[in-house]
Amino acid sequence: MTAPIDLYYWPTPNGWKITIALEEMELPYNLHLIDISAGDQFGADFLKIAPNNRMPAIVDPDGPDGEPVSIFESGAILQYLGRKTGKFYGTTERDKINIEQWLMWQMGGVGPMAGQAHHFLKYAPSRTPPHVLPYAQDRYRNEVSRLYGVLNKQLADNDFVAGDYSIADMALWPWVKIWEGQEQSIDDKPHLARWLDAVAARPAVAKGADVASEMRNRKQTDEEKAKSDKLLFDQKG
């Protein structure tokens, strides 16, 4: 029996990528919540695994050559799990190239741009004092719209992002599914809308996206929110 993977996680788009992958690949895992609003990501033990103080991260006790391995960065984790299981990573070298280019597109484009859109459209205006920056809001809202246009065009000729369902879909769906928070419209992106529904209908996706979901929108006191904002947005090193 495969030894459980230790998953260090919080219910965010990057965290969902890995719970979805683990559920899809039917890999057992032990869940370790890293409460980013409480500063768990700065703990000394976690930094040994994830030196960039970001989750998710994993420790696989049954790594290469049977030795434990720790991995940070969600894209690297997806690639590792795909290689480990031989699932959702294509069957030919051309498959892998296609999957990897769309995975890198998510890591370098959709994730950072959508994350900045969320920050300037949702979080910054709610801070004390409010930070409403129209230039930044327009910049990231528009760039996310452009990227989703690219994705819609790709999906016009493909059921999934890289042809067959793959780790590229697992990387993209968690970010794209929260399009409303990025102030996007998908009325003019029918292929993207169809894909969102198709991925959401997969039982493993639903299960993975639901892990610790109760923690995502929990109520915070004003004091807790101020502490959380400082930890998330005011760190300088």
User: Which CATH number characterizes residue 144's domain?
Assistant: 1.20.1050.10
Same domain for 134 and 42: no
Same domain for 51 and 35: yes
Structurally, the chain folds into a number of domains equal to: 2
User: Which CATH number characterizes residue 213's domain?
Assistant: 3.40.30.10
Report if residue 100 sits inside a domain. Answer: yes
Same domain for 97 and 190: yes
Same domain for 217 and 174: no
Same domain for 140 and 67: no
**Would you give per-residue pLDDT tens digits along the chain (237 residues)?**
689 999 999 999 999 999 999 999 999 999 999 999 999 999 999 999 999 999 999 999 999 999 999 999 999 999 999 999 999 999 999 999 999 999 999 999 999 999 999 999 999 999 889 999 999 999 999 999 999 999 999 999 999 999 999 999 999 999 999 999 999 999 999 999 999 999 999 999 999 999 999 998 777 666 666 666 666 666 665
Same domain for 179 and 133: yes
Same domain for 102 and 24: no
Same domain for 60 and 111: no
Q: What is the dihedral of CA 61, 65, 66, 70, to 10 degrees?
A: -10
236/70 Cα distance (integer angstroms): 26
Q: Which two tokens stand for residue 138?
A: 């327009």
156/195 Cα distance (integer angstroms): 10
Same domain for 101 and 54: no
Same domain for 161 and 180: yes
Same domain for 187 and 102: yes
Q: Which two tokens stand for residue 134?
A: 């129209």
Residue 161: give the domain boundaries: 93-201
